[in-house]
């Protein structure tokens, strides 16, 4: 028989063991209750996520065509890599394995997971349009990449590369801040960022589809349980002529290169813009801003070095100079001053002003005409043709800046044109006395010297090339101002039905008399036949091609302290006696409108009217009368 002490020890051990087992059982019961009652829904959803997947099927984006049916923006199939987000830390091991295979850091993938944290059990897209090598690496490692999905879908494609890049714009994945502003979008959606892609994004994007797919443990599909087919976006037809657009882009680049390489008087010719309008509708036939960019680079994961180069480029390739570049127009503005003088009766069509090359402002202040020695006696037609500064200085003294500003606004200068692009075009500046008082309260007087500058398009004037084209089109068509537009119609691709169409919109008709407009147009015609642009078009142009061109050169002077070359302008319409198109060309630091901008307009006219080009090469020295 055991002593009482031993029996008590055994009894204590049994009690301890029973207590331990009771506690362990309570823990197991509590854990079981936690899993079933509190976490049951989570694990049920996780299990369902392992068996069922909602596979999103992106809709093909609507196509964009030029006026003749040439494809400017379409779609191509591409592979993308997504990660099924399980909402657990188990994803970390997958990320560690996946990152080097796809050329991303673990932090970049974790950030994508964090941003999409509210989309449990949905695929999070990490990369679009992966290359074949990346695709192969991922497929070879699929056994070690639970939750990684390789999908196919449409990616935006621009078959002409940089052509019309500012007009078309580009697309990219929606940013979180955009989600706060836009309804009907979610993270991962592709959104139009600029240009037509942005303005018509809702028409172009279509309706996404999807399917419910049963999968195995490795997320391989077993069967499709249900499917909603995606609905492609609407197609868009533009007013642009892709072949003319090519000609303008190439001519602008070639002319600028020739100006930079000029053997006698080279200029920097850093960048430029050109636009072509139909004078009787406002349709934009070509719109070029140089330099541009390749929108294909934005359609998938953009190389970081490409984006850095664009952002660091001092020439601002993202800037659409046609709609957002503001420039002094120089002598391309002189038709406005001529109209103000004629309409006010302060000058007659045949009255002459003698230009000696020097114009007296005050007793101690003179201004000079661009031509040393002057132009001699010139009437208003001749003054436009040879771009005589002295004549227009005299007109400024007679009519004043307010009347000049009135006619500038009537012709569309200083207003946003209303073209359907994003970002929208800038309004610019028409200077007058009221503007000067508001803008410079410390110096509110519009001084005589400033009025003289205003009369020749210098000083405070700031306009976009698109506004200049609208102004010239109004001169050409008899004073009608049309709102320029680039979207011709929107088409349902399934039925071919036009769902929306743009028609010409007359926004203003000036009260300028037909006689005044006729005189101004005659002066512009003389510009190309015997004036500042005659070296490019020549007096024999009509003999060769059956019509004349009406144009005006302009050289906007850069401030001497800026170290920049002058800006070059040329505006025109053709044919002179029955206008069809209006043109505006500007070359930053091109030196001379006759030298750097007129050749681009000549290339446009040659192509549009299907002429056999006989345009001369840039001369070593500008001929007499071609200095502006």
Tokens of 329: 């127009």
> Could you tell me if 146 and 219 are in contact, meaning their C-beta atoms sit under 8 angstroms apart?
yes
> Could you tell me if 628 and 532 are in contact, meaning their C-beta atoms sit under 8 angstroms apart?
yes
Within 196-342, strands assigned E span 209-215, 221-228, 235-238, 271-278, 284-290
pLDDT at 20: 75
Tokens of 23: 């506690």
Strands 581-588 and 567-574: antiparallel
Within 33-111, strands assigned E span 52-57, 64-65, 71-84
CA distances from 479 to 30, 236, 279, 428, 507 (A): 87, 31, 10, 21, 11
Going by C-beta distance under 8 Å and a sequence separation of 6 or more, which residues neighbour residue 276?
A: 244, 248, 284, 285, 286, 287, 469, 581, 582, 583, 604, 608
> Could you tell me if 66 and 240 are in contact, meaning their C-beta atoms sit under 8 angstroms apart?
yes
Max CA separation in the chain (angstroms): 147
Strands 235-238 and 64-65: parallel
User: Residue 333: how many CA atoms within 13 Å on its side-chain side?
Assistant: 37
pLDDT at 24: 76
Using DSSP, state whether 126 is helix, strand or coil. strand
pLDDT at 552: 98
CA distances from 6 to 9, 16, 338, 342, 432 (A): 5, 15, 126, 130, 115
pLDDT at 179: 85
Ordered domains of the chain (ranges, CATH) = 51-132+142-238 (3.90.1310.10), 242-292+320-608 (3.40.710.10)
Whole-number Å distance between alpha carbons of 131 and 114: 25
Task: Encode 37-74: b = buried (16+ Cβ within 10 Å), e = exposed.
Answer: eeeeeeeeeeeebbeebebbbbbbbbbbbbbeebebbb
pLDDT at 110: 83
Tokens of 277: 């309008």
> Could you tell me if 236 and 546 are in contact, meaning their C-beta atoms sit under 8 angstroms apart?
no
> Could you tell me if 593 and 274 are in contact, meaning their C-beta atoms sit under 8 angstroms apart?
no
Residue 118 main-chain phi, psi, to 5 deg: -90, 5
pLDDT at 302: 65
Using DSSP, state whether 586 is helix, strand or coil. strand
pLDDT at 180: 85
Instruction: Kindly tell me the burial class for residue 580, based on how many C-beta atoms sit within 10 Å of its own C-beta (0-12, 13-18, 19 or more).
Output: middle
Residues of the chain scoring pLDDT < 70: 1-10, 15, 31-55, 85-90, 116-122, 213, 215-221, 224, 301-303, 622-627
The rounded Cα 545 to chain-centroid distance in angstroms is 35
**Which residue, among 526, 525, 523, 533, has the nearest Cα to 619 in the 3D structure?**
533
Neighbours of 176 (CB within 10 A): 8
């Amino acid at each position: 028989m055991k002593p009482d002490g031993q029996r008590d020890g055994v009894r204590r051990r049994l009690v301890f063991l029973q207590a331990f087992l009771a506690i362990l059982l309570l823990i197991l019961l509590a854990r079981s209750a936690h899993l079933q009652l509190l976490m049951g829904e989570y694990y049920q959803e996780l299990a369902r996520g392992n068996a069922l997947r909602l596979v999103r099927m992106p809709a093909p984006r609507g196509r964009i065509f030029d006026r003749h049916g040439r494809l400017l923006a379409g779609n191509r199939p591409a592979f993308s890599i997504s990660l099924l987000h399980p909402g657990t830390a188990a994803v970390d091991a997958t990320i560690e394995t996946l990152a080097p295979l796809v050329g991303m850091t673990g932090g970049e993938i974790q950030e994508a997971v964090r941003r999409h944290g509210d989309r449990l059990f949905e695929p999070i897209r990490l990369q679009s349009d992966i290359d074949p090598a990346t695709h192969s690496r991922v497929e070879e490692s699929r056994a070690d990449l639970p939750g990684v999905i390789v999908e196919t879908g449409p990616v935006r494609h621009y078959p002409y590369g940089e052509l019309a890049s500012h007009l078309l714009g580009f697309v990219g994945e929606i940013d979180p801040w955009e989600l706060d502003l836009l309804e009907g979008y979610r993270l991962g959606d592709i959104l139009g960022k600029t240009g037509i892609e942005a303005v018509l994004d809702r028409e172009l994007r279509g309706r996404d589809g999807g399917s419910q797919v049963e999968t195995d443990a490795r997320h391989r599909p077993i069967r499709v349980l249900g499917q909603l087919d995606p609905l492609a976006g609407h197609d868009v037809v533009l007013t642009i002529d892709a072949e003319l657009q090519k000609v303008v882009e190439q001519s602008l680049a070639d002319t600028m290169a020739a100006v930079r390489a000029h053997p006698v008087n080279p200029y920097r010719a850093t960048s430029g813009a050109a636009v072509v309008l139909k004078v009787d509708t406002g349709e934009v036939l070509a719109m070029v801003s140089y330099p541009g960019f390749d929108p294909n680079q934005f359609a998938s994961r953009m190389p970081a070095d490409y984006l850095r180069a664009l952002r660091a480029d001092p020439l601002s390739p993202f800037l659409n100079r046609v709609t957002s570049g503001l420039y002094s127009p120089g002598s391309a503005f002189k038709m406005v001053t001529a109209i103000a003088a004629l309409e006010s009766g302060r000058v007659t069509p045949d009255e002459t002003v003698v230009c000696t090359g020097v114009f007296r402002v005050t007793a101690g202040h003179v201004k000079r005409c661009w031509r040393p020695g002057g132009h001699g006696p010139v009437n208003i037609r001749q003054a436009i043709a040879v771009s005589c500064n002295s004549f227009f200085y005299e007109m400024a003294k007679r009519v004043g800046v307010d009347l000049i500003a009135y006619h500038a606004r009537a012709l569309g200068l200083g207003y946003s044109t209303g073209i359907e692009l994003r970002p929208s075009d800038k309004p610019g500046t028409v200077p007058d006395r009221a503007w000067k008082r508001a803008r410079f309260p410390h110096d509110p007087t519009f001084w005589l010297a400033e009025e003289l500058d205003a009369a020749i398009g210098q000083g405070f004037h700031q306009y976009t090339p698109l506004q200049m084209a609208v102004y010239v089109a109004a001169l050409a068509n008899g004073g009608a101002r049309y709102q320029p537009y680039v979207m011709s119609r929107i088409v349902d691709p399934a039925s071919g039905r036009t769902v929306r169409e743009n028609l010409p919109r007359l926004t203003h008709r000036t009260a300028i008399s037909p006689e005044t407009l006729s005189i101004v147009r005659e002066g512009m015609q003389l510009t190309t036949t015997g004036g500042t642009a005659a070296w490019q078009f020549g007096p024999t142009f009509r003999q060769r091609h059956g019509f004349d061109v009406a144009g005006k050169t302009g050289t906007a002077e850069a401030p001497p302290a800026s170290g920049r070359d002058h800006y070059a302008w040329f505006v025109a319409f053709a044919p002179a006696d029955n206008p069809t198109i209006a043109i505006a060309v500007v070359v930053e630091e091109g030196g001379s409108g006759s030298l750097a901008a007129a050749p681009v307009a000549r290339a446009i006219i040659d192509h549009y009217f299907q002429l056999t080009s006989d345009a001369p090469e840039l001369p070593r020295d500008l001929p007499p009368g071609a200095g502006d």
